[in-house]
Amino acid sequence: MPASSDITVIYTGEDGTSTSTTVEQSGNMVTVETSSSGVPNFVVDFTEVFARGIPQTNLSTYFTTSTASNGNYYTELTFTGAELKTSDGASFTKVVAPFKVATTTTPVVYFDDTITVSEAEGWNQVELRLSKPATESFTLLYKFEGGNAVRDEDYWWWSNEDGYRSVTFVKGQSSAVVNVDIRNDSSTEGQETFNINFQIDSGSAGKVILPVSQAVVTIEDDESSSAFDYTSMIDKIMTKISSTLSAELKVLTDANSASLSGTSTSFTDILLSNSDISDISTYLTGEVSEDVTVYDPITTNLVNLIDTYIGLCERSKWNKGFIKIKWP
């Protein structure tokens, strides 16, 4: 759409009364953006449409409590004379977006009500977002509880004497975070969950709206059956090394020599002079296999020990700057 094109915004109330205004398009309300795969996407920025259109329209003549109510609404943008198609080839001339008329201008708290934390990663955050910057200071309380995860065994928790932690927004602030700290234990438990329950502090009643009061945290276990199998890994490595090592040893015994009864003889012939050895390749393969049997469990335990040490080091890092977990 050319940047010089104008857009007419028409407002229709619940009683059917309509009013309209025309605003400049100026290239930022309706755009065509090309995706990474080269597909053009038709984009309508309704936030920009509202920001430009609503201030220029006097809605007080019909948009009152008698002709409108709080709740869910939608806005639609119609393109007269345009030939537009979806990626499936379906034609359309309008786009629709929902919006909500709030009962008050009091800030509303939003957050994702589901969060996943990897046990190996050890932490994540829940972001608390306000619908508008705080108009005055207020405090939210929260606690970790419920679910099948166990406090101080699967996740870390400390609180005040009332069992809560708090987040305080000051005037002008629009977001905050809640840290979620997980203990990386060595037990195979599968996925576990617990809840973060929020509530408005008694001294902040009426200063903020909390439409949803709970987020569910899922802990992804890193010792489950899908975890990495070091024993299997070492077995595969040793099997691969065995065949390669046997072949390389055969090359060395053929290429190198020593004196046998005063005559220069290859190591292969020296070994074959032993009546117990009839085939050099079979002999070398058997010798390597015996060594693998001895060193396979040693290597496996060493790798597991290294993995355990790394896990302990990860868990002993400063936990989001609040507390240091010390391990023996």
Instruction: For the chain, give every domain's residue range.
Output: 6-101, 109-220, 230-319
Strands (DSSP E) found in 61-131: 71-78, 84-85, 91-92, 94-101, 109-110, 114-118, 123-130
pLDDT of residue 323: 39
How many Å apart are CA 14 and CA 245, to the nearest integer?
83
Residue 222's contacts (CB-CB under 8 Å, 6 or more residues apart) are 118, 119, 120, 184
How many Å apart are CA 57 and CA 17, to the nearest integer?
13
pLDDT of residue 73: 66
**Which whole-number Å values give the CA distances from 321 to 165, 181, 273, 317, 327, in the listed order?**
16, 11, 70, 9, 17
In the CATH scheme, what is the code of domain 109-220? 2.60.40.2030
pLDDT of residue 327: 41
Q: What are phi and psi of 324, to 5 degrees?
A: -105, 125
pLDDT of residue 325: 38
Q: Which two tokens stand for residue 293?
A: 């049997």
Burial class (CB in 10 A: 0-12, 13-18, 19+), 131: middle
pLDDT of residue 195: 94
**Which whole-number Å values give the CA distances from 270 to 188, 263, 287, in the listed order?**
54, 11, 16
* Residue tagged 């100026």 (tokens): 26
pLDDT of residue 320: 41
How many Å apart are CA 162 and CA 157, to the nearest integer?
13
pLDDT of residue 225: 46
**Side-by-side strand order, sheet with 109-110:** 109-110, 123-130, 175-181
The neighbouring-strand residues paired with 9 are: 21
pLDDT in tens, the chain (328 residues): 455 566 676 666 666 667 676 766 666 666 777 766 666 676 777 666 666 655 455 555 545 555 455 556 666 777 777 777 777 778 888 777 666 665 567 888 989 888 988 877 788 889 999 988 898 999 999 999 999 888 888 888 887 767 899 999 999 999 999 999 888 776 767 788 999 999 999 999 989 999 889 999 998 876 554 455 667 777 777 777 887 888 888 888 888 888 777 778 888 888 888 888 888 888 888 888 888 888 778 887 777 777 776 666 654 443 444 434 344 4
pLDDT of residue 61: 52
Burial class (CB in 10 A: 0-12, 13-18, 19+), 81: exposed
